[in-house]
Structure 1
Amino acid sequence: MSEVVERLKKALPPEALVTDPDRIQSYRYDRAMFCPAGEPVAVVLARETAHVQAAVRIAAEAGVPVVPQGARSGLSGAANAVDGCIVVSLEKMDRILAIEPVDRYVVTQPGVFNAVLSRAVAEQGLFYPPDPSSWEFCSIGGNLSTNSGGLCCVKYGVTTDYVLGLEVVLADGRVLRTGRKTVKGVAGYDLTKLIVGSEGTLGIITEATLALRPEAARPRTMAALFDTGVAAGEAIVEIIRSGVSLSLLEIMDRTTIKAVNDYKRMDLPTEAAAMLIAQSDAGGEAGAADVAMVAKLCRQYGAIECIEADDPAEGELLLEARRAALVALEHLGTTMIDDVCVPRSRLADFIAAVEGIAAEVDITVGVLGHAGDGNMHPTVVFDATDPEQARRAQVAFDRIMEVGLELGGTITGEHGIGVLKRDWLAQEIGPVALDVHRAIKAALDPENLLNPGKVMALGNL
């Protein structure tokens, strides 16, 4: 390992290499609280693609694993270090390279925060829709690696829907360019979509060309309060059935609302068992009609109160509460965050099942999520120093994923597999699909050096 470090020192500028053991510690983990992490031998703070190439080539020649990282805001352990690895951090590659208003795309390095990019394109009258709750501190590279979604998915889709092309450093150090900058293009296999969501196991993204949309109209926002989570779930189903065009439909349960109140010192209504937050950016009378329709349907399904935000600032306050939810729950203890997505017609069944699991296992579970697309984030909260609580937390976490699959859903809608859900991947996709995954991994990374141990167990690869 000392030889590897010496080679890195010769190949990289001093500011691009971290070998101090104390500094290295902060690059071991992402935000997943209950996942193992190893000890890196060095951290490369890449400033340009050539730095990534140099690190990957040295690692390939020495047979040393490489773990790519962005802002380390992930929730599945995908960015956790493994023993003896070189961490390649993209956080210093944080420049927006070009914004093209006519062709409606932006070229960006991976270390740019989602919120920074969104605000930059908004200054040009454009809109980048994917907006994870962590948008203020998550990076575009991480969004790409896990195919993140966000609050606006119900109308605008997820990250992969906006990726036109990528620059990717492969396991042997070569640079692959995928995709295009045109509106249409179908030349060859869709390597762009293959890389998006691969969690750094097939290559390291060093640049992205992302599609943009025209700026949306100023949104109208409302909240509906329910005395049971199941009633909220039933209302969600009817809202979707109605065909109303919402740009956002979110849910928070009582546990989550109380956590947000305590964390942000807000005055959210804790008497409600669940709160729906709905938003329409249709503009003008159409937006007003959308919000009115949602309120009507919520009342039909037992809402105890419906409140429309009087001005955009009130609407932003509601969204701030939702964005803060996961961080607020983390202040209650160690968290294991499920990322189950179910068919929207089964949302009420899923919410009821989660409530039942929490009661039966006797563990705290905060229920929140993107109700409009069925992507829920039940968050198990526990004391990790108490072995019995930790055991019950794992039981609840697994049973929630099991219920999601039984209802026709998936174990992850946007957080990725990482190490947290690796053992569940084979159960969801089956042996044939798992063999195809392994074959793709073997073709692009035959020595299994890129983010090993993440996404799937590779057997003899």
Structure 2
Amino acid sequence: MSDLLERLRTELPAEALITDPDVTASYAHDMASFCAAGTPAVVVLPRTVEQVQHVMRTATALRVPVVPQGARTGLSGAANASDGCIVLSLVKMDRILEISPVDRIAVVEPGVVNAVLSRAVNEHGLYYPPDPSSWETCTIGGNIGTASGGLCCVKYGVTAEYVLGLDVVLADGRLLITGRRTAKGVAGYDLTRLLVGSEGSLGIIVKAVLALKPRPPQQLVLAAEFPSAATACDAVCRIMERGHTPSLLELMDRTTVRAVNELASMGLPETTEALLLCAFDTPDPAADLAAVGALCTAAGATEVVPADDPAESELLLQARRMSLTALEAVTSATMIDDVCVPRSQLGAMLEGTAAIAEEYGLTIGVCSHAGDGNTHPVVCFDHTDPDESRRARESFDAIMALGLELGGTITGEHGVGVLKKEWLARELGETGIALQRSIKAAFDPLGLLNPGKLF
């Protein structure tokens, strides 16, 4: 420990090092349940690329593991510390280095908060679409590390589609520059895409070149109430089958709606079994919403209410954004799943999840990026009750198994981390895992970067 600190101090300012155990403990884990976390030896908060390189050279020389972190809003334990590690928090590297309206790119450091970037590019008439529910606090580096998504993915896609290039400090301290600033580029293997979603296991992201889009018109939202999840999912299928491209298509079940009302008195309709939110940011959103409203009615909606103005639309979006927080307030602990299935199987996924909730005697609320088939079943349980905790974990596994059975994937945007290591092996298979391990070894032969994560 003394040798580690002595070497780190040679090129780091005193304020960049945290050794107080009471403080370092707060950096030990992200927001996931059931994920083991160790005790870090030190927390480092660098401000420059050179400082990150120094940390990695020191870690390599002393064979000390390094766990990179952003805002720790993750839900899979990917940012959890291991015993004796260096926690490398990138939150102080938070500069927006460039916004180019001509090239439609932004160049940012990893600690830039998603919402801060979004507002900054909006001032230039531009738009950065990926918008996770935690966008007011999560960082771009964390978004890239987990390949995060958000509410607007149904039309605009996920984080991976907006990362053009990266500057990455490798395990031995070398700086790797991948990708490009250009609209096109196919030179060599696509290392940029490989690094997106790698959860800090291949390198430390210190800069990103992000693609931007022209800022669209303000969207209008429609809310449709349904007597069952099945009828709501039927409406989703009809909307997509008819070729509509909403900017948002989100689903909240009755448990979620009631939780949001309980938390924030939003006045959402608690008599509904499923609430579907559909938005358009087209030149004539009212016409698009009318067409979608007719499809919802044909699918069995009991009430279809288009918002009158952007302010009312934003209120509905706030309700959806606070869904996970509201469900977390239902009981002492939650496990938030992230299973994505083909849109055609969305109804089966929600019905199966309801059956699992009944089987295990638990409250499981579901909010969903319905347009993507990405569901977020939230298992609510009392963490002080051993039997209820056991049932929560078993129900979580049952939900993931259901997702795979329906042709889906164990994670659409939250990542694998610690929580889903076993399930990643089941999804990829022996050959897939072996190849992934070999890629990890090529980037990080000593296994120092975020050990114990993914596989």
TM range (shorter): over 0.9
Matched residues in 1 for 2:146 and 2:283: separation? 32
Once the two structures are superposed, what CA deviation does each residue of 1:224-260 show, in whole Å capped at 9, x if it has no partner?
0112112111111111111112010000111111111
Task: Tell me the residue number matched to 2:311.
Answer: 313
**In 2: Cα distance, 1:210 partner to 1:47 partner:** 20
CA displacement at 1:300 relative to structure 2: 1.0
Once residues 153 and 409 of structure 1 are traced to their aligned partners in structure 2, the CA distance between those partners, rounded to angstroms, is 17
| Structure 1 residue 93: Cα displacement | 0.6
**Do the aligned residues in 2 keep the contact of 1:218 with 1:283 (CA within 8 Å)?**
no
SS at match of 1:378: strand
- Alignment match, 2:415: 416
Q: Following TM superposition, by how much is the alpha carbon of 1:270 offset from its aligned partner in structure 2, in angstroms?
A: 1.0
Q: Distance in 1 between matches of 2:231 and 2:201?
A: 41
8 A contact 1:245–1:290 mirrored in 2: no
- Single out whichever of 406-415 and 8-17 deviates more from structure 2: 8-17
Match of 2:17 in 1: 17
Task: Specify the SS of the correspondent of 2:173.
Answer: coil
Task: Specify the alignment match of 2:90 in structure 1.
Answer: 90
Letter in 1 for 2:348: D
Partner SS for 1:377: strand
Q: Would the aligned equivalents of 1:147 and 1:196 in 2 still touch at CA under 8 Å? A: yes
Distance 1:108 1:171 in 2: 21
CA displacement, residues 62-102 of structure 1 (integer Å, 9 cap, x when unaligned):
11100000010001000010100000000011110000000
**1:384 alignment partner in structure 2:** 383
Deviations 1:85-130 (A, max 9, x none): 0000000111100000000000000101101000000000000011
The sequence identity of aligned pairs, in percent, is: 61
Q: Judge conservation of contact 1:339–1:412 (CA < 8 Å) in 2.
A: yes
Report the alpha carbon displacement of residue 289 of structure 1 after superposing the two structures with TM.
Answer: 2.3
- Alignment check: 8 A CA contact 1:375 1:413 kept: yes
1:37 aligned residue: 37
How far apart, CA to CA, are the structure 2 residues paired with 1:170 and 1:411? 28
**CA distance in structure 2 between the aligned counterparts of 1:256 and 1:6, rounded to whole angstroms:** 51
Aligned residue for 2:291, secondary structure, equals helix
TM-score by length of 2: 0.99
1:116-169 CA distances to partner (integer Å, 9 max, x unpaired)?
A: 000000000000011111111110000000000100110111001011100001
Return the letter of the residue paired with 2:374.
Answer: N
The match for 2:392 is 393
Q: Which of 49-58 and 311-320 deviates more?
A: 49-58
Partner of 2:160: 160
Residue aligned with 1:209, SS = strand
One-letter amino acid of the counterpart of residue 327, structure 2: L
Structure 2 equivalent of residue 327 of structure 1: 325
List aligned pairs for 1:131-146, cutoff 5 A.
131-146=131-146
Which amino acid is 1:76 matched to?
Answer: S
Q: Distance in 1 between matches of 2:15 and 2:407?
A: 49
**Alignment-derived partner of residue 459 in structure 1:** none
SS at match of 1:166: strand
Cα deviation for residue 421 of structure 1 reads: 0.5
Residue 403 of structure 1 deviates from its aligned partner by 0.5
Paired AA for residue 448 in structure 1: G
Q: Is the contact between residue 253 and residue 367 of structure 1 (CA under 8 Å) also seen in structure 2?
A: yes
Aligned to 2:438: 439
Spell out, residue by residue over 1:284-332, the C-alpha distance to the aligned partner (whole angstroms, 9 max, x if none). 2xx2222112111111111111111111011000110111111111112
Instruction: Name the aligned partner's letter for residue 405 of structure 1.
Output: L
Deviation at 1:9, TM superposition (A): 2.0
SS in 1 for 2:110: coil
Q: Distance in 2 between matches of 1:423 and 1:453?
A: 12
Q: Distance in 1 between matches of 2:442 and 2:12?
A: 28
Deviation at 1:33, TM superposition (A): 2.4
Write the distance in 2 (CA, Å) between the matches of 1:53 and 1:79: 19
1:339 aligns to what?
Answer: 338
Secondary structure class of the residue paired with 1:182: coil
Q: How far apart are 1:48 and its partner, in Å? A: 1.1
Post-superposition offset of 1:191: 0.5
- For 1:381 and 1:283, the matched residues in 2 are separated by 41
Q: Distance in 1 between matches of 2:260 and 2:55?
A: 42
Contact 1:244–1:293 (Cα < 8 Å) also in 2: no
1:190 equivalent in structure 2: 190
Give the whole-Å Cα distance in 2 for the aligned partners of 1:326 and 1:250.
13
Rounded Cα–Cα distance in structure 2 between residues aligned with 1:451 and 1:218: 40
Shift of the alpha carbon at 1:10? 2.2
Partner of residue 8, structure 1: 8
Inter-partner Cα distance in structure 2 for 1:204 and 1:104: 25
**AA matched with 1:379:** V
Deviations 1:343-379 (A, max 9, x none): 0011111111001110111111011010001011001
Q: Distance in 1 between matches of 2:177 and 2:15?
A: 27
Unaligned residue ranges in structure 2 (runs of 5+)? none
The equivalent residue for 2:114 is: 114
**How far does the alpha carbon of each residue in 1:435-457 deviate from its partner, in whole angstroms, 9 at most, with x for none?**
1100000111111100000011x
Give how far 1:264 is off.
1.7
Deviation (angstroms), 1:262: 1.5
Secondary structure in 1 aligned to 2:339? coil
2:25 and 2:263 map into 1 onto residues whose CA distance is: 27
In structure 2, what residue type is equivalent to 1:412?
T
